Structure 1
Amino acid sequence: MEINWSWQQFSDISGEEMHAMLALRQDVFVVEQRCLYLDPDQLDKQSWHLFGRTKDQKLVAYARLNFPNTRYPEPSFGRVLTSKAIRGMGAGKKIVEACIQKSLQEYPNSDVRISAQAHLTKFYAEFGFTKIGDPYDDHGIEHIGMILRVSKPMGD
């Protein structure tokens, strides 16, 4: 299945796109994962949003890249998801690659931090992320902090 990828800032998202984004996030995080929490938050306004759409413009994949000094000092990405219809087709890897690439483009030489669901640590490790800190509960799902070190230490 061909997916067309595009980045938008909050102020550029139309009402129709916002509705599709929030509906898909609710489908995956609240309904499928049974995680009761308020999904829309202030970070939506301080993020780049990655939309993955089919040829007929149906939203099937999504992530957001938070600006530095919003959730963490580093840029971070989250709300990574794919619809049931495309799982197992490699879209998750494309999302992570796109988030890393966008972060490096917008915030050169800045590390990238994520809050990963603990069962996905091996998946994120494939991209160079390493665990930081201890696992913690985030609305009933075990998470762990992870970081992709891209900045160079002073003196190198």
Structure 2
Amino acid sequence: MDWRTKSFSELDALELYKILQLRINVFMLEQDCLYPECDDKDLKGKHLFAMDQDTCVAYARLLPPDVSYPQCSSIGRVVVHADYRKHQYGQLLMNRAIEQIKKDYPDLPIRISAQEYLKRFYTGLGFQIESDVYLEDNIPHLEMALYP
């Protein structure tokens, strides 16, 4: 497994293709959710991902403050390839994402929009629930934050 963290401009064409392939296959096809996958936030953040040969198996988008939330960094588009979920890659991915964000923005909270069914997973990582359940792309979500 080869873990990488790159800015958008550092991604090569194949890496970008494999990242988008994973995100589209899970968020749009598996979760049957139609939304604008390319939202320009990719251009502003870092991309944390794991490659197993030519397959992107895990991915998270790391965004600087004021892109998704005022005065907060954020982690989004968290996804693990279906064939790799049983190996705890979600936990490893989020631990790496939190570590990178804390390194880049040590004094700021990390805010996420988490799918409600994953609330136990995210609270286990230290995130606090900060909203009632709301629909985002017809999927129940919660706003959550991890404070420094």
Shorter-chain TM-score category? over 0.9
User: Structure 2: which amino acid aligns with 1:64?
Assistant: R
The alpha carbon displacement at 1:103 in A equals 0.6
The alpha carbon displacement at 1:16 in A equals 1.3
CA distance in 1, matches of 2:110, 2:49: 20
CA distance in 2, matches of 1:79, 1:37: 12
- Of 69, 85, 90, which residue of structure 2 is paired with 1:72? 69
SS at match of 1:87: helix
| 1:96-135 superposed matches below 5 A | 96-135=94-133
The alpha carbon displacement at 1:57 in A equals 3.8
Match of 1:95 in 2: 93
Please, which runs of 5 or more residues in structure 1 have no aligned partner? 151-156
Count of residue pairs brought into register by the alignment: 147
1:60 aligns with 2:57: yes
CA distance in 2, matches of 1:42, 1:58: 24
CA distance in 1, matches of 2:89, 2:57: 9
Structure 1's consecutive aligned runs of 4 or more residues displaced over 3 angstroms after TM superposition are: none
- Using the size of structure 1 for normalisation, the TM-score is 0.91
1:26 aligns with 2:24: yes
The alpha carbon displacement at 1:48 in A equals 0.6
- Using the size of structure 2 for normalisation, the TM-score is 0.96
Larger Rg: 1
Provide, for residues 8-66 of structure 1, a one-character-per-residue CA deviation record: whole Å limited to 9, x for no partner.
00011111111111111000000000001111111101111011111x24211111011
Query: Equivalent pairs: percent with the same residue?
Result: 36
SS at match of 1:45: helix
